[in-house]
């Protein structure tokens, strides 16, 4: 009898820490979503010899959160985490920011081992798949470097992606919700050009190239460069698990 009681107590604790209550005080169990991020770029997506004109992407670094986007805000200066991802593709600083953010439920970097680099970056034709757990009210955001740039990254617009419409989980291709942002931390040359973009830097170097100090903005709003369409480079699909 005591053991049975302990089990009920344990189940109650598990439900308390992993669920939330709706307006009627019913426990709402989290929904598991499968997230797939694909690099769909092809040779000459960007007119350059570097990486054969494909657009490598850095390991997508993501958060499930409530309220304000913990990664970046368009119109405000980038934090160090966004600068490191956007200039060099490294997630460490952002992961540390997310780990200490009070409104972040879960955060990680999704690595794509193997491929042309034999490393974690997401090269043309590669994808990463991971699961996230969320309840209504939760949002999802990620950053991944547009590697043929000085300091550009893809992320969701609007402060992150709402994972539920009311209490209904979203499902399907979310690529149209993405944008490519200029982090505003390094001066820009056209995609695939100039001496300071990631493909021509020392791969492990950080903060290479002349600084700039302006707010995060849509790359297309700041530059007249030819920028590939989002769906020529990246595809993001989010599917709730039954
Ligand atoms: Ca820039
Ligand atoms: Ca650089």
- Percent of the chain predicted with pLDDT > 70: 89
- Which ligand has an atom closest to residue 194 CA? 2
pTM of model > 0.95:
no
* Domains contained in the chain, number: 1
Q: How many CA atoms lie within 13 A of 153 on its CB side?
A: 35
Range(s) of the domain holding residue 187? 28-240
Distance 179 CA to ligand 1 centre (A): 15
Which position has the token pair 């979503």? 33
Q: 193 in a domain, yes or no?
A: yes
C-alpha 213 to ligand 2 mean position (Å): 14
Q: Is residue 3 part of a domain?
A: no
Residue 8 has pLDDT above 80, yes or no: no
**Nearest ligand, measured from the Cα of 183:** 1
88 CA from centroid of ligand 2 (Å): 7
Q: Which ligand is closest in space to the CA of residue 222?
A: 1
Question: Is there a domain that residue 169 lies in?
Answer: yes
CATH of the domain at 110: 2.60.40.2130
Residue of 56, 90, 112, 88 whose CA lies nearest to 208:
88
What are the contacts of 22-30 at 24+ separation with CB within 8 A? Answer: 22/136, 22/167, 28/135, 28/136, 28/167, 30/133, 30/134, 30/135
Confidence of residue 4 (pLDDT cuts 50, 70, 90): very low
Answer yes or no: is 2 within a domain. Answer: no
Q: 155 in a domain, yes or no? A: yes
For residue 157, being part of any structural domain is answered with yes
Residues in the chain, overall count: 242
CA 215 – ligand 2 centroid, Å: 17
Identify whether 228 is part of a domain.
yes
Residue 229 lies in a domain: yes
The stretch 90-102 carries a mean pLDDT of 98
């Amino acid at each position: 009898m005591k053991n049975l009681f302990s089990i009920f107590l344990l189940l109650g604790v598990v439900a308390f820490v992993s669920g939330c209550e709706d307006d009627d005080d019913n426990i709402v169990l989290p929904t598991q979503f499968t997230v797939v991020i694909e690099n769909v770029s092809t040779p000459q997506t960007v007119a350059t010899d570097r990486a054969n004109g494909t657009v490598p992407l850095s390991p997508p670094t993501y958060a499930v959160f409530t309220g304000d986007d913990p990664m970046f805000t368009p119109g405000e200066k980038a934090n160090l985490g966004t600068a490191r991802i956007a200039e060099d593709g490294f997630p460490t600083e952002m992961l540390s920011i997310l780990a200490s953010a009070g409104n972040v439920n879960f955060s990680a970097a999704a690595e794509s081992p193997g491929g042309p680099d034999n490393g974690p970056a997401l090269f043309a034709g590669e994808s990463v798949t991971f699961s996230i757990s969320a309840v209504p009210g939760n949002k999802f955001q990620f950053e991944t470097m547009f590697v043929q740039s000085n300091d550009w990254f893809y992320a969701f617009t609007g402060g992150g992606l709402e994972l539920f419409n009311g209490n209904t989980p979203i499902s399907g291709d979310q690529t149209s919700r993405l944008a490519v942002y200029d982090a505003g931390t390094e001066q820009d040359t056209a995609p695939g050009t100039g001496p300071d973009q990631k493909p021509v830097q020392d791969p492990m170097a950080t903060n290479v190239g002349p600084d700039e100090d302006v707010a995060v903005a849509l790359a297309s709003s700041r530059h007249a460069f030819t920028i590939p369409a989002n769906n020529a480079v990246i595809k993001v699909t989010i599917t709730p698990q039954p």
